[in-house]
Structure 1
Amino acid sequence: MKKCVGILLLLFLVITAKAQDGNAAIMEANQKVRSYFQTGTQLMYAIGAVLALIGAVKVYSKWTSGDPDTGRVAAAWFGSCVFLVIVVTVIKAFFGI
């Protein structure tokens, strides 16, 4: 009986030590993700800027050629750029960064 209790105590100590290492690993991962967050948001803003330029060129091209559905295309490109900026803002607010 004492041997069984000793084994259970040893097992409990090992599990507790592993759980603390898991907690440390989660905290380390959290810090790494937060360290890349600012770079990621800047990248998303840059992608939004490139999309806006491409959209502006496409809309201008349709407008000068007299395409009747220029307004729809302009709204779609503008909406996608606004959506990207809103996503970045919401993610910043959600994670509190």
Structure 2
Amino acid sequence: MKKQTKKVLLLGVVLLAVSETFAQGNGVAGINEATQMVTSYFAPAVQLIYAIGAVVGLIGGVKVYNKFSSGDPDTSKTAASWFGACIFLIVAATILQAFFL
């Protein structure tokens, strides 16, 4: 009985070792699939960032117009900060798209 238990145990160890070697081939396919999924999300994300930049630009334009109409001396500082935010969003989206794709 002891000899048969050793054979079953040896067979179990061999099966575990063989199954591990067969499972290693799926790593490359998984990495390729994940890469393709991430790159497929990039184009819509860049378009979304451009849309957010447009909304920020419109809001900034309204704020600057209100300050200019009221005669606030701080108008140029506000215009520069809103314009800088819009430029940052557009440049960041373009650089990310160029870097990752």
Bin the TM-score by the shorter chain.
Answer: 0.7 to 0.9
Q: Alpha carbon RMSD of aligned pairs, Å? A: 2.2
Which residue among 43, 46, 49 is the counterpart of 1:44? 49
The one-letter amino acid paired with 1:55 is G
Matched residues in 1 for 2:82 and 2:53: separation? Answer: 10
| Pairwise CA distance, 1:75 | 0.5
Q: Which has the higher contact order (CA 8 A, sep 6+)?
A: 2
- The one-letter code matched in structure 1 to 2:63 is K
Structure 1 residue 28: Cα displacement = 0.8
Cα distance in 1 for partners of 2:70, 2:55 equals: 23
Consecutive unaligned residues of structure 2, counting only runs of 5 or more, are 1-10
Aligned partner letter, 1:17:
F
Q: Which runs of 5+ in 1 are unaligned?
A: 1-5
1:75 aligns with 2:80: yes
**Alignment partner of 1:28 is 2:55:** no
Q: Does 1:88 align with 2:93?
A: yes
Match of 1:3 in 2: none
| Partners of 1:31 and 1:84 in 2: CA distance | 25
